[in-house]
Amino acid sequence: MGIIQLSNLDLVWSAGLVAALAVLAWMSSLGVSRDLLIASIRTAVQLMLAGVVLKVLFANAGLGWVGLMALVMLLVAAWESHARQRHRLDGVWGVGLNVFGLFISSFSLLVFALLAVIEPHPWYQPQYSIPLLGMLLGNTMNAVALGMDRLNSSVIQQQAVIEARLALGHPWQDAMTDIRRDSVRVALVPVINAMAAAGVVSLPGMMTGQILAGIPPLEAVKYQIFIMFCIAVTTGSAAILVVSLGAHRLFDRRQRLCLDRLRLRGG
């Protein structure tokens, strides 16, 4: 059976449903109607542009172009992760830590997956490398944003507790142990929930897409299991790395808490 094509009218209908939801949210005074509409427009525009870019990229599958696309994805993911934090590190450190954490976790696992597991020819074939990187970065971006937001907010709320521990002679690592542990745990909640509910409550997006495209269900399941395990590794390692480095950044060389290195979003 061939792939069932969606028409432009089908997309218009789905957009109309989102618009109806925005109206309902406005009538309920939820304050999210504008954000919902902007996010919907961004989704449509960005995905259409991505489709055009991928079409060109697949036709010119050079390592340089794939690397450029991956770099753009990394920088945008790092920026979006930084922008979603209510309290965030000031200056280049905020985005820089995200870039470092996302690069170390996602790109290392991407190279491993391409070279040792999937083994496409060439190894950087964009049909595999770009979608896989997108899934890794997307989930890791959310985990880093959640972890850092919890870390920074908790430090502000528990400033007195942290400084009391420091005054008693504890190193900053001990003073921040509970907060760092809680921040990483919060970052991992979405991926743990997704894995726990996969196949019972929900069918993950990649698996659903492959089945709709005509891939045998069991083959789609194997790919989805592999992807979810990869996502768990990247989100966990990135959250631990970025939260640890972010916590370290909040203290100076004399192990004094420096809240002036944080700023409120929009402030």
Per-residue pLDDT of the chain (267 residues; tens, 9 = 90+): 556 777 888 889 999 999 999 999 999 888 889 989 999 999 999 889 888 888 888 887 788 888 998 999 999 999 988 888 888 887 788 889 999 999 999 999 999 999 988 888 888 988 889 889 999 999 999 999 999 999 999 999 999 999 999 899 899 999 999 999 999 999 999 999 988 888 777 767 777 777 777 778 888 888 888 988 999 999 999 999 999 999 999 998 888 888 887 776 655
CB atoms inside a 10 Å sphere around CB 148: 31
Please check whether residue 211 is in contact with residue 223, taking contact to mean a CB–CB distance below 8 angstroms.
no
Residue 265's pLDDT is 63
Query: Do 71 and 54 fall within a single domain?
Result: no
Same domain for 199 and 81:
yes
For residue 201, the model assigns a pLDDT of: 72
- Asked whether residue 189 falls in the same domain as residue 93, the answer is yes
Closest CA to 15 of 41, 35, 34, 33: 41
Query: Which H or E element spans position 221?
Result: helix 217-249
DSSP character for 113? I
Same domain, 160 and 55: no
- Name the residue range of residue 166's domain: 62-264
If asked whether residues 105 and 153 sit together in one domain, one would say yes
Which of 44, 59, 74 lies at the terminal end of a domain, its last residue? 59
Query: Which residues lie below 8 Å from residue 189, measured CB to CB, with a gap of 6+?
Result: 146
- Are 128 and 200 members of one domain? yes
Among 59, 87, 106, the domain boundary falls at 59
| pLDDT of 32 | 87
Task: Select from 38, 59, 80 the last residue of a domain.
Answer: 59
Residue 162 and residue 33 share a domain: no
